[in-house]
Amino acid sequence: MPKWLNDAVFYEIYPQSFLDTNGDGIGDLEGIIQKLDYVKSLGCNALWLNPIYDSPFKDAGYDVRDYKKVAPRYGTNDDLVRLFDEAHKKGIKVLLDLVPGHTSEEHEWFKKSCEADKNEFSNRYIWTNGAFCGIAGHPYIGGEAERDGCYMLNFFKCQPALNYGVLNRTEPWQMATDDPDCIATREAMKDIMRFWLSKGCDGFRVDMADSLVKEDDEVKSATGKIWENIRQMLDEEFPEAALVSEWSNPECALKYGFHADFYLDHHGNGYNVLFRDGETEGGDHSYFKKDSNESPMRFLADYQHKYDNSKEYGHISFISCNHDTPRLTKTMDVSELKIGYAFLYTMPGVPFLYYGDEIGMKYLDKVKTKEGGFQRTGSRSPMQWDDKAANFGFSTASADKLYIPVDDSKDAPSVASAENDPDSLIHMVRSIIALRHEYTDLQADSDFEVLYAKENERLLVYRRGSLVISVNPGEAEVKVSKKDLAGVPSDFKGDLIYGIGSADLNGDELVLGKQSFAIFE
Ligand code: GLC
Ligand code: CA
């Protein structure tokens, strides 16, 4: 386990929307380099960049055409190496996005695979043995290639699935996971990883990490074996490199070798019931909505076993949002976000902040889809640096040339205006992240124990190391006797080291004002 992860706080950058330095309306690597000091000022000491590889951009770069070449619109391979170097000088690590489940249909491997004559890449993708023989469970006819077969897709139609084999084989064209051609796919991924790691990259966020072997079993044991093998390579050759999965099943992902796994917005899971439970009947039931009246119990019912069963292997990663998910401002106001973020950045594991969430950028529900974004496009709009500058300082291009239009609402936030407002979210985000760096008890590894949580009650009290943290997301004051806080010694000093709203633990009671959050020492 790379030690640096213990104190890591990640900032996710969607490169096309961060900062455009050559006026073409699209963010670039130079823009990221210019803003490293800003990232550092937030307290973030690691970056995750969405794909920066050469691509026809039908899925915003998750359709890779060449894994070893930076997309010209972002810069060159040399620019990326410069980004690694400049980031390292400032104590910032950089993760790239590895897309191992599929490539673009324009990847050279796929073009070769489409040829009728057998070649090295014929089995790099999953093909049936006849154009009229559809993929099991997917009754379509391919028929676009010279090759007499039909290929499997992994996500969008432009993303043919790479072939790591099939576990439960029922069709003659399905290949075993230990077939040399399937092993070759895995080795090709390792080769790509080595390529960037040896240039200074610090690891990978892995796209659809659970999607490698098809007809895998419920715990994805065959896909898991591949990750175990890849992790072994990292341990031997790049022991400081981090591997973070898009899997949202830490009990599987971390056992198979990932250092951290995202807790994603899957319907009904613990992360969703905290922040994103707006689609259930009877209004928004998210714990952090001030008027939801929800207890933390539904969150804990999902989180606690995930934490208990995975903590010895790695970390759960809470996110503020990501490029696939509506920004939290869609349903939450700043007062709710402050309590939510304070919780998020004081939980165990390795947390992520999505660009713009530190200023409460909005989810733009009216923008047109871009590069396969569809409803995700609203969370991918240009970073709002300066409300006084054209395009918020994102780009000097004319507004119609921008990758995605900027937020045109009157109260659109910007970094410049947030910096000038002492009550703004950015200051709160900075202060909680700074505290996390200061107290090892708040970092990834240190223990987590629930001290108070009850059905029908808003209060949540938990321990991180020797610190006691209390949360009241609701609109009413809550009180609880110190005796009822399991595990807090009666002589606990109860000095407040961080607070939002009013909080007191000096007497025999813990008293928390409406919408409050407090850390006691
Ligand atoms: C992941 C990415 C998403 C992409 C998909 C296909 O879910 O986060 O943006 O569209 O995989 O690669
Ligand atoms: Ca540009």
What is the reported pLDDT for 499? 97
How far, in Å, is the centroid of ligand 1 from the Cα of 207?
6
The one-character DSSP state at 215 is: T
Query: How far does the centroid of ligand 2 lie from the alpha carbon of residue 411, in Å?
Result: 26
Using the predicted structure, report yes or no on whether residue 506 has a pLDDT greater than 90. no
Residue ID of nearest Cα to ligand 1 atom 4 = 62
Looking at ligand 1, which atom is closest to the CA of residue 376? Answer: 9
The two tokens of residue 53 are 């590889």
Report CA(99)–ligand 1 centroid distance (Å). Answer: 9
Q: Can you tell me which atom of ligand 1 is nearest the CA of 322? A: 8
Strand partners, 240: none
333: Cα separation from own chain's centroid: 22
User: In angstroms, what is the span from residue 54 Cα to ligand 2's centroid?
Assistant: 15
- Which long-range contacts (C-beta less than 8 Å, at least 24 apart) are formed by 450-456? 450/300, 450/304, 451/485, 451/486, 451/487, 451/488, 452/480, 452/484, 452/485, 452/486, 453/295, 453/296, 453/297, 453/300, 454/295, 454/297, 455/295, 455/297, 456/295
Q: Three-class SS of residue 376? A: helix
pLDDT score, position 142: 81
Best probe residue, ligand 1, of 62, 262, 319 (max atoms within 8 Å of C-beta)? 62
Q: How far is CA 356 from the centre of its chain?
A: 14
Each residue's pLDDT tens digit, 22-62: 999 999 999 999 999 999 999 999 999 999 999 999 999 99
Q: CB burial class (10 A; 0-12, 13-18, 19+) of residue 425? A: buried
- Nearest ligand 1 atom to the CA of 324 is 9
Contact partners, residue 293, CB within 8 Å, separation at least 6 = 458, 474
Contact 11, 426 (CB under 8 A): no
The rounded mean pLDDT for the chain is 96
User: Which stretch of DSSP H or E encloses residue 82?
Assistant: helix 77-89
Write out the DSSP string of 294-327: --THHHHHHHHHHHHHHTTT-EEE-BS--TTS--
pLDDT at 139 over 80: no
Pocket test for ligand 1, best of 59, 212, 245, 262 (most atoms within 8 A of CB): 59
CB 67 within 8 A of CB 53: yes
CA-nearest residue for atom 12, ligand 1, is: 62
Q: Which two tokens stand for residue 296?
A: 């933390």
CA–centroid distance, 23 to ligand 2, in Å, is 6
Percent of the chain with pLDDT over 70: 99
Distance 15 CA to ligand 2 centre (A): 10
Taking the CA of 395 as reference, the closest ligand is 2
Q: Which atom of ligand 1 is nearest to the CA of 323?
A: 9
3-state secondary structure of 16: helix
Q: How many residues does the chain have?
A: 521
Q: Compute the chain's Rg from CA coordinates.
A: 24
The CA 437 to ligand 1 mean position distance, Å, reads 31
d(CA 463, CA 461): 7
Which ligand does the CA of 325 lie closest to?
Answer: 1
Residues having C-beta closer than 5 Å to ion ligand 2:
20, 22, 24, 26, 28
Residues in the ligand 1 pocket, defined by CB under 6 Å: 59, 62, 99, 155, 207-208, 246, 323-324
Q: How far is the centre of ligand 2, averaged over its atoms, from the C-alpha of 70 (Å)?
A: 13
Q: Which atom of ligand 1 is nearest to the CA of 102?
A: 12
Task: Please give the Cα distance from 209 to 224 (Å, whole number).
Answer: 9
Q: How far is CA 422 from CA 202, 205, 221, in A?
A: 35, 34, 50
φ and ψ of 98, to 5 deg: -100, 130
**Centre of ligand 2 from the C-alpha of residue 371, in Å:** 16
The per-residue pLDDT for range 349-408, each reduced to its tens digit, is 999 999 999 999 999 999 999 999 999 999 999 999 999 999 999 999 999 999 999 999
The mean per-residue pLDDT over the stretch 334-345 comes to 98
- How does DSSP assign 134-173, residue by residue? PBTTB------SSSSS-BPBSSSTT-BBB---BSS--STT
pLDDT-derived band at 138 (thresholds 50, 70, 90) equals low
Q: Residue 489: pLDDT band by 50, 70, 90 thresholds? A: confident
Position 278 scores a pLDDT of: 86
Q: Is 504 helix (H, G, I), strand (E, B) or coil?
A: strand
Which atom number of ligand 1 is nearest to the Cα of residue 63?
12
**Is pLDDT of 135 > 90?**
no
DSSP 19-38: --SSSSSS--HHHHHHTHHH
Atom number, ligand 1, closest to the C-alpha of residue 59: 10
How far apart, in Å, do the first and last CA atoms of the chain sit?
29
